[in-house]
Structure 1
Amino acid sequence: MLISRTPPALGGGRVGILTVLLLLASTAILNAAMTPAPPACGKPQQLNRIVGGEDSTDAEWPWVVSIQKNGTHHCAGSLLTRRWVVTAAHCFKGSLNNPSQFSVLLGAWQLGNPGPRSQEVGIAWVHPHPVYSWKEGTRADIAVVRLEHSIQFSERILPICLPDSSIHLPPNTDCWIAGWGSVHDGVPLPHPQTLQKLKVPIIDSEICGRLYWRGAGQEAITEDMLCAGYLEGERDACLGDSGGPLMCQVEGTWLLAGIISWGEGCAERNRPGVYISLASHRSWVQRIVQGVQFHGHSQGSRPSGLRTRGYRAAQGTPVA
């Protein structure tokens, strides 16, 4: 901005100052207008859906990302902002100090055909929860991932909301999982590796605790875990789905209720999927991730259901 240095005319000092202030205000307004606000979280822009199938539709879950290790799908994650992804901490076991091995693929519906609108970004660093013990099936299996640079939002790449304090998920609430993991134990998702989805009801924590009972003082289901799935088995997450989202819809908006963490086998009877609850770690995520969006009930209504597909490993092994 050029400001005249010539002496002002009599009475012109205030006018000159006012002019400068108006110019500065106009510039600030223009700059603010040129900085786009992030899109609303949890709102897919694609309206067409396949009902009853396992393949998701393109752009149905625009926050689901593939975390790649040395160029191969390793885990899933969920996009929170232009610069942050949340996933399971165990996905980085033994590799925490080597972020260059990893990248994040966003906007890819089919891993075998990601398309020109997908984006692949390196990982700057990984921040696991400080109390995670790096042992299989333990509490606080959550990490936030800082991308090397900000990504561009599109209809295929959008953030998901975190649940605010008004959200409670009673048993039998229908939610969804999604991922590119195995379709059965030892059976990888076939080409073109289309993102899978599965509807899973929330299971009462006391029931789940009894199913995974290991003896007095050895509770497998900790206070920050959620269980979801089917006691009869047959439908579940599996190997390669770790870190992916457990998503519940509240008043038309998708919330990240949990993160796929562990289980015993894939789709085995009385061995439902175990997820890390975002409600338990909401404050921790908020302290690290600037700009994360929250959503809850406007008038106390209960969440409605969703869908996706799953992961897991034998003997309580987290599925990476």
Structure 2
Amino acid sequence: MFVSRNPPVLGRGCLGILTSLMLLASPAILNAAKTPVPPACGKPQQLNRIVGGEDSTDAQWPWVVSIQKNGTHHCAGSLLTSRWVVTAAHCFKGTLNKPFQFSVLLGAWQLGNPGPRSQEVGIAWVHPHPVYSWKEGSRADIAVVRLEHPIRFSERILPICLPDSSVHLSPNTDCWIAGWGSVRDGVPLSYPQTLQKLKVPIINSEICGRLYWRGAGQEAITEDMLCAGYLEGERDACLGDSGGPLMCQVEGTWLLAGIISWGEGCAERNRPGVYTSMIAHRSWVQRIVEGVQLRGHSYGSGPSGLRIRGYRAARGTPAA
């Protein structure tokens, strides 16, 4: 490229035209500068009670949020973008028109000591799936939550990915759940309420359907549900974990495979956790939430039976 060593001096007329053009262009330039690129989903930037679970580490699951009702932990949820959280619809039973009762706490590893880098934001409104019937064990137990204002991303606050259409969860796939729910039936998580985590294998849907069989024509496990956990019991999600994530990892990226929905009791034998399938409801979420990121895999079978093809970016009982 040729550059003149001594550019010509601009006259008053030329300078005025150039200034006007710059002023016209400046709003677009400023707006572009104000639009931050969202961080990659499902990628924790590591720093430094679920029944039978264990303490997680700080910033291990930066998309897990606490949905607070009147200042107290009520349900969990997962951050999708700077403005949207996804959770279980049943968390808002009877309070759907009272968003002022709720807030979302992000970046808090310990609820009893959230720390200065945590953020709390109000809820603008809640959009439950239109098919959800507000009954225990109903299909489509999912809701997206619009925050009052965008949050600031940090190493403790990041979005999780949704699985794209190529992801299929096979039985025995090892996934994880996380939450601040009870450690046993009727036993809340003790102070400082450190986020709990638990590895849970995916359970064959036919086996789970038989375990929860209610008679002909009364299938408890619908096509948009999946089961995970241990048939012997002892380890499971519990009250207060509702709405939290079932997370599966693909090539170092965490995908939101399901939402903690329901179960009979906590960690009882032959009563595994039941989750709302994000694969089944991905398209519905995409229609509402702008900017949600999807991920998959390009070849063959993933670890522990996670069958994936292609790549694209783009529990407890019902709460009162």
TM-score normalised per structure 2: 0.87
Task: Count the aligned residue pairs.
Answer: 298
Give the partner amino acid of 1:181.
G
Partner of 1:289: 289
The residue that corresponds to 1:3 in the other structure is none
Does the aligned pair in 2 maintain the 1:169–1:303 contact within 8 Å? Answer: no
Q: SS at 1:287's partner residue? A: helix
- Percent sequence identity is 88
For 1:110-259, what aligned pairs fall within 5 Å after superposition? 110-259=110-259
1:77 lines up with 2:77 in the alignment: yes
> Matched residue of 1:42: which SS?
coil
Deviation of residue 301 (structure 1)? 3.9
3-state SS in 1 of match to 2:55? coil
**Aligned pairs for 1:88-99 within 5 A:** 88-99=88-99
The within-5 A match list for 1:45-60 is 45-46=45-46, 54-60=54-60
- Paired with 1:88 and 1:256, the residues of 2 have a C-alpha distance of 13
Amino acid across the alignment from 2:56 = S
Paired position in structure 1 for 2:270: 270
Offset at 1:33? 3.8
Paired residue secondary structure (1:209): helix
Q: What SS does the aligned partner of 1:168 have?
A: strand
Deviations 1:183-209 (A, max 9, x none): 000100000000000000000000000
Change (3 A) 1:119 1:213: same
The root-mean-square deviation of aligned C-alpha atoms, in Å, is: 2.3
User: Does structure 2 retain, via aligned residues, the 8 Å contact 1:42–1:161?
Assistant: yes
Match of 2:316 in 1: 312
TM-score for the superposition, normalised by structure 1: 0.87
SS in 2 for 1:121: strand
Distance 2:43 2:304 in 1: 15
- What's the counterpart of residue 36 of structure 1? 36
Does structure 1 residue 107 correspond to structure 2 residue 107?
yes
Distance, in Å, in 2 between the alignment partners of 1:220 and 1:53 is: 26
Moved more, 108-117 or 25-34: 25-34
Q: Which amino acid aligns with 1:189?
A: L
Moved over 3 A (4+): 15-31
- Whether contact under 8 Å (1:79, 1:160) holds in the other structure is yes
Contact 2:64–2:245 (CA under 8 A) maintained in structure 1: yes
Aligned-pair CA distance for 1:296: 0.6
- The residue identity in structure 1 corresponding to 2:117 is R
Distance 1:57 1:207 in 2: 33
Aligned equivalents of 2:203 and 2:53: distance in 1?
23
Structure 2 residue runs without a partner (length 5+) = 1-10, 306-314
Aligned CA distance change for structure 1 residues 53 and 205 (closer, same or farther; 3 Å): closer
SS at match of 2:186: coil
Sort the Cα spacing of 1:183 and 1:109 in 2 relative to 1 into closer, same or farther, 3 A. same
2:93 and 2:319 in contact (8 A); partners too: no
Shift of 1:215: 0.2
> Do 2:243 and 2:259's aligned partners in 1 also have CA atoms closer than 8 Å?
yes
